[in-house]
Chain A
């Protein structure tokens, strides 16, 4: 059955993992003890977390706006509007951020044209900030959708009740709307956090030497360094760490939600 084949395929991609572990624990040891890999892993985690935080913070008001301020008939159109950029060429999108942020780029060009700065700003490209910004741009639609869905499910009468009971708008948001939409925020966090750690193109194009992430090292191990087991060990370790962080995050959130009840 083709369905079984798909399942088998998804098994395959993971099966090789055990295959390699039996062959060489050595590469795992290298991946975990070598300072360079530790450092790179730490940086990747940091960048991924920053991207996730920025994406969710950017996405929440957008989802809130669409859910609460847009007429029901036009919601689908707004969602469509937000997903369009995601479907444009991935490489081109990232490369254009390089053009926007570059030394002669759009940002520098317009700021100098306005006379706000004398010299082009050099701190906006080829560093971790550029990676964070570009990744946040690529992933923000993925964060908006689950938060939007969660906000749509929030019972409007609960919000009215909070208001009737004398809560101010801000208090109402933190005590009713935010906890109730938390499942969407969690989903958004996971959807953004897990894939960003493995992003290859963005750090390569806009990251510069200090913005490289673990995926670049994985690629290097597979292609140039010809040390596939180490590359695989790094990939698996990265996945394991990310999964653990995601699980801890979910667990903390459950506690938080229970706490507010």
Chain B
């Protein structure tokens, strides 16, 4: 037994190094005082972060991305709430297949979604704009939102709802006063996850971006220029810190939600 335990410890150690290698190197190069992204390191600097502050096209891309991410988060969470509510509370014919259909974008290659939306949008005759990217992002974020929200709705005790009806509340009031507060942590987690996914999504944005780039599209454009790389590393570091903190916040809310409904916490996301 001891021998096998040792094998797993070694394996996990190597695996974690493999898994975290890019995430660790990113900040290392961001603070490296050299315009070439390679070893050996030359010394500590924060000048690459300063470069970011003065790049206007970057600021435009960030604004676009934030706009898209916020809109996507709100809409996909809204759809997620409705779908999760419908699928956990009511059973209707074809429920499983409809849910499966909605979940499909989760496993479909993003390039297929990007290409399909491009064709649809051109067929309808719309111009490519930030809205077309939002549409694509809602499509890929909604399954994640449904997954998170379904578990929030599933943990909901139905007798609370019935109690509210018995006490003379309307359907609408029950939703506002009883259900919503209980699933609120799930909603917050879903908003944050959708926001994070949308902020980082590249392929769909790459296909559907007209003249206005999002942040990942901007980064993609800059990767071609070697002299821009160190400042990109700095940008990546900021994004890394940002998404990890968003995730920790999302996880905190998810845990709180689990505790509220009085069920033992088991497992993480997904």
Contact = CB atoms under 8 A, between A and B. Distances in A.
A9 B220 CA distance: 28
B55 interface: no
Nearest to A112: B39
A217 to B, nearest CB: 11
Contacts of A196: 109
For chain A, which range describes its interface: under 10, 10 to 19, 20 to 34, or 35 or more residues?
A: 35 or more
B110 A195 contact: yes
Given A80-B268, A198-B110, A12 B223 contact: no
Given A13-B116, A137-B18, A89 B223 contact: no
A28 interface: no
A16 B122 CA distance: 11
Given A201-B203, A232-B119, A88 B23 contact: yes
B37 A83 contact: no
Interface string B74-103: 000011001100100000000000100110
Query: Secondary structure of the A side of the interface?
Result: helix
B113 A2 contact: no
A52 B116 CA distance: 25
Interface in A74-112: 75-76, 79-85, 87-93, 95-97, 99-100, 102, 104-106, 109-110
Interface stretch (A35-43, A58-66, A176-184, A251-259): A58-66
Nearest to B98: A7
Nearest to B19: A85
B120 A5 contact: no
A197 B109 CA distance: 7
Contacts of A51: none
Contact of B107 (A97, A104, A140, A195): A195
B118 A222 contact: yes
B168 interface: no
B269 interface: yes
A211 to B, nearest CB: 16
B240 interface: yes
